[in-house]
Amino acid sequence: MRILCLGDVCTTSGYELVLRRLPELRGELALDFVLVNAENAAEGHGLWPHQADALLEAGADALTLGNHAWDRSELKDYIWTQPRLVRPLNFETSAAGRGKALITAQGGKRVLVVQLHGNLFMRKCRPLYQVLEEALQGQELGQTADAILIDVHAECNSEKQIVAHMADGRVTAVFGTHTHVPTADSQILQAGTAYQTDLGMCGPNHSIVGFDVAQALAILGGKRKGRVGQASGASSLNGLLIDTDDATGLAARCQRYHWSEAFASTPALP
């Protein structure tokens, strides 16, 4: 299988770029499955139900969320109706929705999508590593699922790395989201799991993690108060492109993915 995992969709510019490019990418990259973290699509804060519908219609097979899952309260009811929308599994057990989903790709392959939420420097959730074992209980790569993807939505890099090494050899890929800045450490771990510490964001190039530069600098200098507005303009897509071994479900190859409206882009795997 060929799988594309895209980082946090942030701001209207990022959301609109994903909608424009994703239908083309399915063919250009011969993609079998696309996972998109969509938690900041609603002007940089949360996700509206109509945006989730549009992203799925444009070619996303599954969407994940994160710490901004409930910034748009309408999503709490919508998430029960959309089995391809996944929030962190280690949210409180009473939280709306589901933290993992087994999704059938367009070619018939089964992909298990799991999301976990970090604890360091973020809201406290159920223990990350304990919930990892809960997520993988009864799941066997190549048997119950053709691929298993774990999105670790966390501030702390070491939490993401720990999850990856704990899951190495048992899942196809572990990758981080949340920081909006892509890392240059895409690799295949010793037992065959693809890994990247953070996918980065799908959002505006001239920004501070997706938000207006001038406003952020004014707040930092004490010249402005309040929330920083979203940036706009030319945007980029960032993520991880993975080819799996069909016999095992593990990663055969992986590469950081980048495409920009303004700059030369990273070539895709041949």
**Which pair of tokens denotes residue 141?**
């790569």
Instruction: Answer yes or no: is 267 within a domain.
Output: no
Q: What is the pLDDT of residue 88?
A: 97
Instruction: Answer yes or no: is 50 within a domain.
Output: yes
Residues with Cβ within 8 Å of 91's Cβ and at least 6 positions away in sequence, in order, are 69, 99, 117, 125, 126
Which CATH number covers residue 140? 3.60.21.10
Instruction: Answer yes or no: is 123 within a domain.
Output: yes
Whether the Cβ atoms of residue 16 and residue 253 lie closer than 8 Å to each other:
no
Instruction: Answer yes or no: is 61 within a domain.
Output: yes
Counting other chains too, the contacts that 134-138 makes at CB distance below 8 Å and 24 or more residues apart are: 134/89, 135/89, 135/99, 135/100, 136/167, 136/170, 136/171
State how far the Cα of 33 lies from the Cα of 138, in Å rounded to an integer.
23
**Mean model confidence pLDDT for the chain:** 93
Q: What is the pLDDT of residue 269?
A: 64
**What is the per-residue pLDDT across 233-266, written as a single tens digit (0 to 9) for each?**
999 999 999 999 999 999 999 999 999 998 755 6
Whether the Cβ atoms of residue 44 and residue 11 lie closer than 8 Å to each other:
yes
Told to judge if 178 belongs to the known catalytic residues of this protein, a careful annotator would answer no
Helices 49-58 and 11-28 pack at an angle, to 10 degrees, of 20
State how far the Cα of 268 lies from the Cα of 270, in Å rounded to an integer.
6
Instruction: Answer yes or no: is 190 within a domain.
Output: yes
**What is the per-residue pLDDT across 12-69, written as a single tens digit (0 to 9) for each?**
999 999 999 999 999 999 999 999 999 999 999 999 999 999 999 999 999 999 999 9
**What is the per-residue pLDDT across 152-203, written as a single tens digit (0 to 9) for each?**
999 999 999 999 999 999 999 999 999 999 999 999 999 999 999 999 999 9
Instruction: Answer yes or no: is 268 within a domain.
Output: no
Instruction: Answer yes or no: is 19 within a domain.
Output: yes
Domains: count for the chain: 1
State how far the Cα of 160 lies from the Cα of 197, in Å rounded to an integer.
6
Q: What is the pLDDT of residue 122?
A: 85
Instruction: Answer yes or no: is 40 within a domain.
Output: yes
Residue from 45, 68, 153, 165 carrying the catalytic annotation: 68
pTM of structure: 0.94
Q: What is the pLDDT of residue 264?
A: 55
Q: Is the pLDDT of residue 227 over 90?
A: no
State how far the Cα of 149 lies from the Cα of 81, in Å rounded to an integer.
22
Residue 27 sits in which domain range?
A: 2-260
